[in-house]
Structure 1
Amino acid sequence: MSAEIELLARQHAPQILAEALRLARSKAVEVLSEQLVSAMIAEAVKPYRPPSAAQLANVEKGLCVYAITRDSEIELPALRTAAEPRLIAHNGIGAVVADVDLAQFTNLEADPVEDSALATLAREHDAVVRAVFEHEPVLPLRFGTVVTGEQAALDLLRERREEALTWLDRVAGHREWGVRVECAAQPEAPADGLSGTEYLRHRQSALSRDRDQAKAAQNMHAKLSCHATEAACREHRPNTLLDAAYLVPQDNETSFRDSVTRLSEPLERLGATVHTTGPWPPYSFTRIELAVQR
């Protein structure tokens, strides 16, 4: 009997292994899908940190602070959710602010609906930052940054003046570009009809393609970083080989974009997809932040 069992094991082990791998992959897809949904929700609310109840106690009105820039005349857009934006200046720098009802910044939830309160506030925040960006270097502040009044904004400008000037000089003449590389979905080996040798050959081919895609994405990042003053990689998500932002001098943008096109070709031949976004204000490269002040 033991010889018969051994023979059956040799004959059917490859098919059993293939079926086990198929089931494992199906389970992995389910788990990763749940993780991806959680990650997308977390990313949607990441830029927003609402003031605490204690910080907003007995305060109905305040100033939303959108960005820091140089003291300059800038045409700013009208907003639905706030008063007309204005610049509060101090010794060569300024904070772009607007009077707001602070209640609208409480109880916001991540909501993918285009006309949700969160989406509307976020779009207006970006519109103000972009308006400044068209004329002067800009330090975008975290969405939802509020202070309780003009004096608090002036105090913060005094405290952060040197830091702000350093960052403004650093990002002047630069724009942010994003590059994301998504790997191709690998076809599963059929559970039936393959011998053990054929299955292993299929797996080796898939693994080789994965390695080649990863190597090409790493090469792309290294080459693109040479055209940028600074580069930042974001946390990888499932099926993403590269998700990076580049702070590119405007004089280098043509060579940067040419390099993206050239370096995309080997990745696309391997089945990957390259997405380029920009130009943006330097959202990923300014680390100055104003805190809520009483």
Structure 2
Amino acid sequence: MTECGPETSDAGALYVFAVCGDPGPASFADLPGVAPGEPLRALRFGELTAIVQTVRAADFTEDAWQARMADQRELERYARAHHHVVSAAAACCPTVPLPLATLYHGEERAREALLGETERFRTALERTAGHSEWGVKVYASHAPAEPPAPEPVAPPHRPEATAPTGSRPAPGAGLAYLERKRGVQARRERRHEDALRVAETVDAAFRTVAAAGRRLRLHAAEPTGKGDAQVLNATYLVRAHRAAQLEELAWTLRAETGARIEISGPWVPYSFVGEV
């Protein structure tokens, strides 16, 4: 969040959704934004335009925002409203999305702050113009390390040869157990190395199509019971005319690696506007 504190909680604040070149008002005129009833409008600063909306500062104090973040449904409503405005702007011209809940004390403060970031915005717009963001997730099947060892078959009962309490295991039983454990560990390490190679192969292949790429934190294993583990969670900045190559590349990589590869997009390039 930006600038809104408790001392201004009864005043109005300016919520900034995105910065773009020169969007047509019709592209976002019918959207409610985050404050239904207040119109979205364009705020010109220098050669760029911000899409803004007047909101109640009381709704965006630190305490109010923390309470909203604790309410999953309410937070999702705000995030969707923010995303819809950004997407509408991006559909008509290159757009730099601003973080959720970026606010200023009125138009002059907003214009002054945004003017100070003009060079960064211009660079981001030039970098992402004509591009979209695509997500790629790769899952490798992790089979069990080794089937359960068969239960040893008990020898026939011989009353005259009853084993004394505390009898020793058969010779070599401990060595066999250690060898089996080493084998399990070796297979586990090989599977891990194979998974890393799959991730590197897929990432390298998609980077040949993309203008830029980022690897994100891996998600936890899926609760599907199938043993699928995520080995790559990445996002790529791809020029529009190359988007059709992504699915073809995914089919090829699925056949070559045996991994499950999921593609999502196109998205507004949120992940690539802050790296300038």
Pairwise TM-score range, normalised by the shorter structure: 0.7 to 0.9
Task: Summarize the Cα distance change of 1:143–1:153 in structure 2 as closer, same or farther, 3 Å threshold.
Answer: same
TM-score, normalization: structure 2?
0.75
Q: Tell me by how many angstroms 1:158 deviates.
A: 1.9
Q: Tell me by how many angstroms 1:94 deviates.
A: 0.7
- 1:5-154 aligned at under 5 Å gives the runs 50=1, 55-60=5-10, 61-74=12-25, 75-76=27-28, 77-79=30-32, 81-82=34-35, 83-105=38-60, 106=64, 107-110=66-69, 113=72, 116-154=73-111
Say whether the 8 Å CA contact 1:71–1:90 is kept in structure 2.
Answer: no
- 1:247-286 aligned at under 5 Å gives the runs 247-267=237-257, 269=258, 272-286=259-273
Counterparts of 2:31 and 2:15, CA distance in 1: 14
Counterparts of 1:110 and 1:57, CA distance in 2: 21
Counterparts of 2:273 and 2:114, CA distance in 1: 16
Aligned to 2:216: 234
Task: Summarize the Cα distance change of 1:57–1:224 in structure 2 as closer, same or farther, 3 Å threshold.
Answer: same
The percentage of aligned residue pairs carrying the same residue is 25
- 1:146-225 aligned at under 5 Å gives the runs 146-187=103-144, 189-190=146-147, 192-193=149-150, 196=177, 197=179, 200-225=182-207
SS in 2 for 1:57: helix
RMSD over aligned Cα, in angstroms?
2.5
TM-score, normalization: structure 1?
0.71
Q: Can you give the 5+ residue segments of structure 2 that lack an aligned partner in the other structure?
A: 152-175, 221-228
Say whether the 8 Å CA contact 1:70–1:94 is kept in structure 2.
Answer: yes
SS in 2 for 1:108: helix
Q: Tell me by how many angstroms 1:185 deviates.
A: 4.0
Counterparts of 1:98 and 1:186, CA distance in 2: 53
Count of residue correspondences: 234
SS in 2 for 1:157: helix
Task: Summarize the Cα distance change of 1:112–1:224 in structure 2 as closer, same or farther, 3 Å threshold.
Answer: farther
Q: Tell me by how many angstroms 1:287 deviates.
A: 1.4
Counterparts of 2:214 and 2:271, CA distance in 1: 7
Structure 1 runs (4+) greater than 6 angstroms displaced:
none
Larger Rg: 2
The amino acid of 1:275's aligned partner reads E
